[in-house]
Amino acid sequence: AAIKEFFGTSQLSQFMDQNNPLSGLTHKRRLLALGPGGLSRERAGLEVRDV
């Protein structure tokens, strides 16, 4: 039940496009930046988004 709740409600659970290597890299970067203790989408300024 806890695993189902995590994958259904957590901001970390997202579908990853496995066909495009660039989208996979973007997905991993977003996962690290927005994870627990990371940035929220509202607080992320332009300097954080430009990598």
* pLDDT in single tens digits along all 51 residues of the chain: 777 777 677 666 666 667 777 877 776 666 555 566 666 666 666 666 555
Domain with 42, as residue range(s), is 2-49
Give, in order, the Cα–Cα distances in Å from 48 to each of 3, 13, 20, 24, 33: 31, 21, 23, 19, 9
**Count of the separate structural domains present in the chain:** 1
pLDDT of 47 reads 64
pTM given for the model:
0.33
The confidence score (pLDDT) of residue 49 equals 59
Half-sphere exposure of residue 39: CA atoms within 13 angstroms, side-chain side: 14
Q: What is the per-residue pLDDT for 3?
A: 75
Predicted pLDDT at 30 = 63
